[in-house]
Structure 1
Amino acid sequence: MNITIIGGGLAGASIGYHLVKMGHTVTIYDREDKGQATFASAGIVCPWISQRRNKKWYRLVTASARYYPDFIRTLESETDMSTGYKNSGAICLFKPDIFDKATKRISDKAIGHPEVGQVRQLTREELSELHPSLTTKYPALIVEGGGQVRGLKLLQAIKTAFIKHGGHWKQESYEGSDDDSFKIYTTGAWGSEQDYQPKIAHQRAEIMHFKLLNQKTVQSPVVMALGPTYIVHLEDDNYVIGTTHIDTDSFDTSPTEESRAYLTEELYKYFKPEDVEITKMGVGLKPYTRDYLPFIGYADKNTFIVNGMGSTGLTASPFVGLEVAKLINNQQTELDLNDYSYIEPQT
């Protein structure tokens, strides 16, 4: 097939990568809009700690996390590029009154799923050894299967492999909407520009970059702090803390003082002010659809939509790319993708 993909974020690149490896002719168009979610992603791969009860979402993200290590090994061997993927574990912090209950909840998810790894409570000494500057005020456990990846490095590696396998990447707007090619729209927050259902909305997600001044350079695990806050070690003494989730119609990607103040307050819950140096803010626009469940399905016989990935995008995109490629190639998918196609295709 001749396939056109509109949108060169992680979802579009991953779909294109898998399709060209199956022998299809694929062209990806990417405008490189400022605010693409990939560029402001912290890169956490640890879906098992989520308290979301949507079973369709959970099946998707856990299958995606299981696929990740093999996908990364293949991609890095094909490109000789680093994606920043590390299976360094995830530290989870809790309030004392729910700590034991949370430990059991996460431990139960590891039963029969070896990719989760060991789930165990940490002593204060163990926590300080893993992350020396992090507060020991809150009880902590570690999920050893947790990992992280650098969103931008991952996208660059997928793009390189896609082109290496014969794909065509055009850094321009797609203008051929009336042609007869099979089209896949992976336009993220800019999905609102298309007339297809489902309706796409987006949130403004801001993250704060900072340095730890008094911690030796050791690879620290991802930290899932209280509420929606996370802390991720990038490299050397560079870290990020995030994130905000603000519904918006705007595509402005300028950092706000309100978000900076909020994230500064969050930062000082977990580190001493004298131990950190705030360096910059990052802004991404994360798309979502009904029930915050990604949409994966046909709009009509020649048009396919993948959107609404939101904060799920970095974890799910490689696996979604494989599943969509299988579906288009008339192969059996691991998941029932009808679960994610909740509109009737136009005839």
Structure 2
Amino acid sequence: MNITIIGGGLAGASAGYHLIKLGHNVTLYDRQDKGQATFASAGIICPWVSQRRNKKWYRLVTKSAHYYPEFISTLERETGMSTGYKNSGAICLFKENIFDKATKRISAKGIDNPDVGAVRQLSKEELSALHPSITTEYPALIVEGGGQVRGRKLLAALKEAFIHHGGTWKNESYDETTDDGSLKIYTTGAWGAEQTYKPDIAHQRAEIMHFKLKNQQDIQSPVVMALGPTYIVHLEKDEYVIGTTHIDTGSFDTSPTDESYNYLQSELYKYFKKEDVEITEMGVGLKPYTRDFLPFIGYVDDNTFVINGMGSTGLTASPYVGHEVSHLISGLPVGLDFSDYNYIEPQN
């Protein structure tokens, strides 16, 4: 088949990579808009700790997490490039009054899913050994199946592999008036609002704060899922990020705000001493959502396919979604029930 992909974020690159390997002719257009969600993603892969009760979402992210090790192994072998993928576990912090309940809840996820790995509570000494600079004020557990990936590195490797296998990548806008008979796959993220098809796409500003830890240069720390929506991720050497904000907006402005800076700074000082950190920069991404906060994946007409609304799920789910979409389009067996994600009306 001749296939045109519009949008060069992680979803588009993954779809293109998997489709080209199945023998299709694929051209991808990416106009390189600032604020692409992939570039502001922290890269946590640990969906089992979420308290979201949407079963369709949970099936998607758990299948996606299971696919990651095989996918990364293949991609890094093909390209010789690092994706920053590490299966170093995830530390979860809680308030004392819910700690035991949270441990039981997360441990139960692993009964039928070996991907979760061991779930165990950490002593203060064990927490300090894993992350020497972080506070021991909050009870902590570790989910040993948790991991992380660098969004920018993963996207670069996918682009390299896509081109290596014969795909055409164009850093330019796609001419909507072009009618070449190809199947169109729109993976335009927050900019999906520009298209006329359903479902409607909205987006949020997600800001993250980059900082350095002065005393942890040689220790690779697991990701930290802190209180509420806050996370802390070790990138490399002494570089870390803390995030994130979730601000509904209709704007595509990617300038950092003082409000978000102050909020993330206050979060940072909950977990680290001021004298141990050096704030270096802010990053801003625009994360797309549907009104149901469930990704839309499916045909909107006979010649148009859409992957959008991935939100904070994008980094975890995009590799697997690309694999499954490539199989669906090629008439091959799939592991996802696409009727769960090809919807227009709100979910019940």
TM-score of Structure 1 vs Structure 2, range by shorter chain: over 0.9
Whole-Å Cα distance in 2 between the matches of residues 57 and 220 of structure 1? Answer: 28
**Which position in structure 2 is the counterpart of 1:317?**
318
**Which position in structure 2 is the counterpart of 1:49?**
49
Q: CA RMSD in A?
A: 0.8
Whole-Å Cα distance in 1 between the matches of residues 177 and 340 of structure 2? Answer: 28
Deviations 1:180-221 (A, max 9, x none): 221000000000111010000000000000000122421000
Deviations 1:76-102 (A, max 9, x none): 000000000000100000000000000
**Which position in structure 2 is the counterpart of 1:250?**
251
**Which position in structure 2 is the counterpart of 1:286?**
287
**Which position in structure 2 is the counterpart of 1:60?**
60
The residue identity in structure 1 corresponding to 2:281 is K
The residue identity in structure 1 corresponding to 2:130 is L
**Which position in structure 2 is the counterpart of 1:210?**
211
The residue identity in structure 2 corresponding to 1:342 is Y
The residue identity in structure 1 corresponding to 2:134 is L
Whole-Å Cα distance in 1 between the matches of residues 212 and 50 of structure 2? Answer: 27
Whole-Å Cα distance in 1 between the matches of residues 111 and 177 of structure 2? Answer: 48
Whole-Å Cα distance in 1 between the matches of residues 165 and 178 of structure 2? Answer: 27
**Which position in structure 2 is the counterpart of 1:165?**
165
Question: Which secondary structure state, in structure 2, belongs to the residue aligned with residue 169 of structure 1?
Answer: strand
The residue identity in structure 1 corresponding to 2:136 is T
Question: Which secondary structure state, in structure 2, belongs to the residue aligned with residue 27 of structure 1?
Answer: strand
Whole-Å Cα distance in 1 between the matches of residues 177 and 96 of structure 2? Answer: 56
Question: Which secondary structure state, in structure 2, belongs to the residue aligned with residue 290 of structure 1?
Answer: coil
Alpha-carbon offset, residue 290 of structure 1: 2.4
The residue identity in structure 2 corresponding to 1:4 is T
**Residues 117-156 of structure 1: matches in 2 within 5 Å?**
117-156=117-156
Question: Which secondary structure state, in structure 2, belongs to the residue aligned with residue 274 of structure 1?
Answer: helix
**Residues 206-245 of structure 1: matches in 2 within 5 Å?**
206-245=207-246
**Residues 103-114 of structure 1: matches in 2 within 5 Å?**
103-114=103-114
Alpha-carbon offset, residue 112 of structure 1: 2.1
Question: Which secondary structure state, in structure 1, belongs to the residue aligned with residue 292 of structure 2?
Answer: helix
Whole-Å Cα distance in 2 between the matches of residues 96 and 343 of structure 1? Answer: 42
- The alignment covers a number of residue pairs equal to 344
Alpha-carbon offset, residue 130 of structure 1: 0.2
Whole-Å Cα distance in 1 between the matches of residues 114 and 77 of structure 2? Answer: 24
Whole-Å Cα distance in 1 between the matches of residues 176 and 249 of structure 2? Answer: 29
Unaligned runs of 5+ in 2: none
CA contact (8 A) 2:202 2:291 kept: no
Whole-Å Cα distance in 1 between the matches of residues 73 and 177 of structure 2? Answer: 36
Whole-Å Cα distance in 2 between the matches of residues 258 and 193 of structure 1? Answer: 28
Alpha-carbon offset, residue 45 of structure 1: 0.4
Deviations 1:126-164 (A, max 9, x none): 000000000000000000000000000000000000011
Whole-Å Cα distance in 2 between the matches of residues 132 and 30 of structure 1? Answer: 41
Alpha-carbon offset, residue 296 of structure 1: 0.2
Whole-Å Cα distance in 2 between the matches of residues 289 and 90 of structure 1? Answer: 28
**Which position in structure 1 is the counterpart of 2:9?**
9
Q: Which moved more, 1:222-231 or 1:209-218?
A: 209-218
**Which position in structure 1 is the counterpart of 2:72?**
72
Whole-Å Cα distance in 1 between the matches of residues 194 and 320 of structure 2? Answer: 26
Whole-Å Cα distance in 2 between the matches of residues 115 and 215 of structure 1? Answer: 29
Alpha-carbon offset, residue 2 of structure 1: 0.2
Whole-Å Cα distance in 2 between the matches of residues 50 and 109 of structure 1? Answer: 10
* Segments ≥4 residues shifted beyond 2 Å: none
Deviations 1:36-82 (A, max 9, x none): 00110001000000000000000000000000000000000000000
Whole-Å Cα distance in 2 between the matches of residues 216 and 163 of structure 1? Answer: 35
TM-score normalized by structure 1?
0.98
Alpha-carbon offset, residue 343 of structure 1: 2.6
TM-score normalized by structure 2?
0.98
**Which position in structure 2 is the counterpart of 1:194?**
195
Alpha-carbon offset, residue 178 of structure 1: 4.2
Whole-Å Cα distance in 2 between the matches of residues 144 and 117 of structure 1? Answer: 5
The residue identity in structure 1 corresponding to 2:243 is G
Alpha-carbon offset, residue 113 of structure 1: 1.2
**Which position in structure 1 is the counterpart of 2:174?**
174
Alpha-carbon offset, residue 272 of structure 1: 0.3
Whole-Å Cα distance in 1 between the matches of residues 325 and 177 of structure 2? Answer: 21
Question: Which secondary structure state, in structure 2, belongs to the residue aligned with residue 324 of structure 1?
Answer: helix
The residue identity in structure 2 corresponding to 1:301 is D
**Residues 26-41 of structure 1: matches in 2 within 5 Å?**
26-41=26-41
Whole-Å Cα distance in 2 between the matches of residues 330 and 177 of structure 1? Answer: 28
2:305 corresponds to 1:304: yes
